Structure 1
Amino acid sequence: MNEADVIDISREAIWVLLKVAGPVMVIALLVGLAISLIQALTQVQEMTLAFVPKILAIFVSIIVLMPFMIATLTAFMEQIAQRIAAL
């Protein structure tokens, strides 16, 4: 295994990380933005009000996106295992 292989595997690992974590983070961002907008419009400045909807949205999104996450991570691990076997 040379330096090019290590860089290629690292690049693919970062891409898989972004594909797996990205949708959940975008959902959390959108929910947080919506809650902040509602708080600004109603002038309710309760700090804990933003946490509960975000936690629920993240939990639901993880449940819904779990098959995609597992499939992506499984495909990446199979590719890594094939590279290891090829050595």
Structure 2
Amino acid sequence: MEQGQVIQVAQDAVVTILSVAAPLLGIALVIGVVVSIFQATTQINEQTLAFVPKIVGVFLALLIFGGWMLSAL
């Protein structure tokens, strides 16, 4: 395999990984920001309050986007 082919395969792998992980990371980011704003306004500093909604959101995103993620791989 030539150097150009190896670089192309690596680039395709990175693009595929990022496109598959983007929905899950985006959902976790949005939920984290919303929960952080809620915690800041109510002055509740509970670790599980930030953790549990993210887990539920990522699980629901896996249910919704799971088929697409598998087909993209």
Pairwise same-fold verdict (TM > 0.5): yes
How far 1:49 sits from its partner (Å)? 0.8
In the alignment, structure 1 segments of 5+ residues that lack a partner are 74-87
TM-score by length of 2: 0.97
Which aligned segments of 4 or more residues in structure 1 are displaced greater than 4 angstroms?
none
Bigger-Rg structure (1/2): 1
Q: Which residue of 2 aligns with 1:17?
A: 17
Structure 2 residue 32 is the aligned partner of structure 1 residue 32: yes
TM-score by length of 1: 0.82
Tell me, what secondary structure is at the counterpart of 1:50?
A: helix
In the alignment, structure 2 segments of 5+ residues that lack a partner are none
How far 1:51 sits from its partner (Å)? 0.5
How far 1:63 sits from its partner (Å)? 1.1
Partner Cα distance (1:30, 1:67) in 2 = 22
1:32 partner letter: G
Tell me, what secondary structure is at the counterpart of 2:26?
A: helix
How far 1:48 sits from its partner (Å)? 1.4
Partner Cα distance (2:66, 2:58) in 1 = 12
Partner Cα distance (2:69, 2:36) in 1 = 29
2:23 partner letter: P
How far 1:67 sits from its partner (Å)? 1.1
Matches within 5 A, 1:7-86: 7-73=7-73
